[in-house]
Amino acid sequence: MVELGVNIDHVATLRQARRTVEPDPVAAAVLAELGGADSITIHLREDRRHIQDRDVRVLAETLRAKFNFELSCAPEIVQIACSVRPEQATLVPEKRQEVTTEGGLDLRPRSPELRNAIATLRDSGISVSLFIDPDDQQVRIAKELGVDAVELHTGQYAEARGQEQLQELRRLEHASQLVNDMGLKLHAGHGLTYQNVRPLAAIPGMRELNIGHSIVSRAVLVGIKEAVREMKLLLNTP
């Protein structure tokens, strides 16, 4: 079975647009769990643009599903992850100006910062996944670094169309085969939607797909009719 990881960052994005208390990503996590989410993913960015430290603490205390903490190698954030001990940490590259995580980690420099982050997280009993492009060399280095899983970046697949999309799918299938052969757990995500997710779910050995924007977007649309109905009722109830 392929597990669904629901990324709730954009619930927090909406809250931070007003710097208020709603919508609360913790409430969204509870509802996502009721809907069948196998894990809940949040990315505590260094600039705190969406998820806040409080969210991390409350989620760590209340989640029933697996907690997947997405983070950069910044020691401050690694320390926060170690203090709340999620089941899984996914290391990602982080740039201040980007709208969202743009590419996978480049593991080739085998940087001390990356090695330290992996060691610190694993010493705290946290399973570590690396977000990488679907590239043989990156997969081999991930294995060498001693992590538990890799998450293949599906962004290029999601953006491509027609023949090009098929080629991107082949790239992902090829890298997935290598991930399986190397005995690493296989995850994937970024840009996945209700329209493009099925070929990814069909890849042999796929364990976890992490999806955020498309699910939160759909939640707004399927929920708006009921939300308006409730407000209208209030206006006209003495």
Close Cβ partners of 233 (under 8 Å, ≥ 6 residues apart) = none
Angle at 181 between CA 173 and CA 40, to 5 degrees: 65
Q: Which of residues 68-97 bind ligand PXP (CB under 6 A)?
A: 70, 90, 92
The smaller minimum CB distance to ligand PXP, of residues 30 and 215, is found at 215
Contact 123, 165 (CB under 8 A): no
CB of 92 to ligand PXP, least distance (A): 5
Q: Could you say which of 39, 72, 88, 101 contacts ligand PXP (CB under 6 A)?
A: 101
The smaller minimum CB distance to ligand PXP, of residues 47 and 230, is found at 47
User: Judged by CB under 6 A, which stretch of 21-29, 105-113, 141-149, 189-197 contacts ligand PXP?
Assistant: 189-197
User: Judged by CB under 6 A, which stretch of 13-21, 118-126, 178-186, 210-218 contacts ligand PXP?
Assistant: 210-218
**Euclidean distance between CA atoms 197 and 172, whole angstroms:** 13
Q: Is 100 in the site for ligand PXP (CB under 6 A)?
A: yes
Q: Which of residues 129-188 bind ligand PXP (CB under 6 A)?
A: 131, 151
Close Cβ partners of 143 (under 8 Å, ≥ 6 residues apart) = 182, 183, 184
The smaller minimum CB distance to ligand PXP, of residues 220 and 228, is found at 220
48: left (phi over 0), alpha (psi -120 to 50) or beta: left
Q: Which of residues 28-47 bind ligand PXP (CB under 6 A)?
A: 43
Q: Is 212 in the site for ligand PXP (CB under 6 A)?
A: yes
109, 129, 106, 103: which is closest to 118 by C-alpha? Answer: 129
Pair of tokens at residue 115: 């090695």
195, 197, 215: which is closest to 206 by C-alpha? Answer: 197
Return residues touching ligand PXP (CB under 6 A). 7, 9, 43, 70, 90, 92, 100-101, 131, 151, 189-192, 210-214
